[in-house]
Amino acid sequence: MLFQTVGLCLILTVVPSLAAAPFDCNAVPIALRCQSEELAKECGYSEACNNYFNATEGKPLKVTLLYESLCPDCQEFITGDFYKAYLKFMDHVEFELVPYGNARIENGKIICQHGEKECAANKYEGCILHYMKEPLPFLACLEHQIPLRDDLDKAIQKCYNTFKPAPHVIDQVIHCANGEIGNKLQLEAAARTAQVYPDAHKHVPWLLFNNVSLADSQFFTEQFEAAICTLHNGQKPLPQCTGAGVRLGCPVDLSAEKNGYFRFSPDAKIADEPLKH
């Protein structure tokens, strides 16, 4: 490990500044192209990057989640990585949840993948999302409680006891879930799900970033924080995203260099003691 760390220090410090980029600009991964002004300039991406920054700067990344309430993978995601990311990034990400998933409409009636129970829970969650100002903690609570209790009403009761929403909000949600507003919201969720573009959803959970639906980016459910850090809008990395480089790399500390802790000659022996920073 020490060997690798020292190796990285050497690489970081020894490479002289070159006149031309030491890589093929055509081979720079798209996700990295706007991450350095110098890189963008060197490789001729500046105009595209400026357009991107102009269109997105200061706006939160929008993450849309297509899901259905009784699908175990959705429950696991919503109560796990998705909720963790919500707590961590809520100031920088706009979360949209669409509780419909693989349901379909037959003869004007919504048929849910996991049956009537799921239709009731989807509808209820649609009302939560519509009427609660910060619905995600309550919704994650429900998705946690529903499989534990196997009963929507008991799960709802438990989450009401935990979060104690304002009585008028509870009234609105109940009225919605028992009536036409809830149905209307489900039809809207159905249309939202059907219209994602360019790739239709093939399973749930299914993610969109800034309204773009791609089959090839669904692995991001497994790397959700990395997705947000990579895809967030704006020129500067999010403060929550800057730790990784510090942990992984060997910070260049010129005072240490001056003090002789780094050895640059090719046949330098590896220091016996850990480098001091």
* Choice between 47 and 273, CB closer to ligand NAG: 47
Using CA atoms, how far apart are residues 190 and 71, in angstroms rounded to an integer?
17
Site string for ligand NAG, 103-142 (x = CB under 6 A): ----------------------------------------
Smallest distance from the beta carbon of 53 to ligand NAG, in angstroms? 7
Cα 90 to Cα 96: distance, rounded to the nearest angstrom: 12
The full DSSP string for 124-186 is HHHHHHHH-SS-HHHHHHHHHHHHHHS-HHHHHHHHHHHH---HHHHHHHHHHHTSHHHHHHH
Nearer to ligand NAG, 23 or 197 (CB): 197
Site for ligand NAG in 159-218 (CB under 6 A): 195-197, 211
Closest CA to 97 of 69, 71, 120: 69
The site that binds ligand NAG (CB under 6 A) totals a number of residues, namely: 8
Q: Closest distance between ligand NAG and the C-beta of residue 72, in Å?
A: 27
Of residues 148 and 194, the one with the C-beta less far from ligand NAG:
194
Cα–Cα nearest to 95, from 224, 230, 243: 224
Question: Shortest approach of ligand NAG to residue 63 CB, angstroms?
Answer: 13
Nearest to ligand NAG of 4, 54 (CB atom): 54
CB of 214 to ligand NAG, least distance (A): 13
Which CB atom, from 37 or from 257, has the smaller least distance to ligand NAG? Answer: 37
Q: Rounded to an integer, what distance in angstroms lies between the CA atom of residue 172 and that of residue 183?
A: 14
Q: How far is the CB of 49 from ligand NAG (least distance, A)?
A: 9
Bridge pairing between strands 104-106 and 61-67: unpaired
Least distance between ligand NAG and beta carbon 54 (Å)? 4
**Per-residue CA distances from 58 to 21, 93, 187 (Å):** 30, 11, 32
| Residue 224 Cβ vs ligand NAG, minimum distance, rounded to whole Å | 20
Minimal distance, residue 203 CB to ligand NAG, in Å: 18
Phi, psi angle pair for 59, to nearest 5°: -100, 140
186 or 213, CB closer to ligand NAG?
213
Give residues 36-95 in contact with ligand NAG (rule: CB under 6 A): 47, 50-51, 54
Task: Return the number of the residue (105 or 270) whose C-beta is nearest ligand NAG.
Answer: 105
Q: What tokens does 69 get?
A: 């309430």
With respect to ligand NAG, which residue has the nearer C-beta, 211 or 223? Answer: 211
Pairing of strands 93-99, 61-67: parallel
Length of the chain counted residue by residue = 277
User: How far is CA 245 from each of CA 111, 233, 237, 254, rounded to the nearest angstrom?
Assistant: 48, 19, 11, 18
Residues lying near ligand NAG in the complex (CB under 6 A): 47, 50-51, 54, 195-197, 211
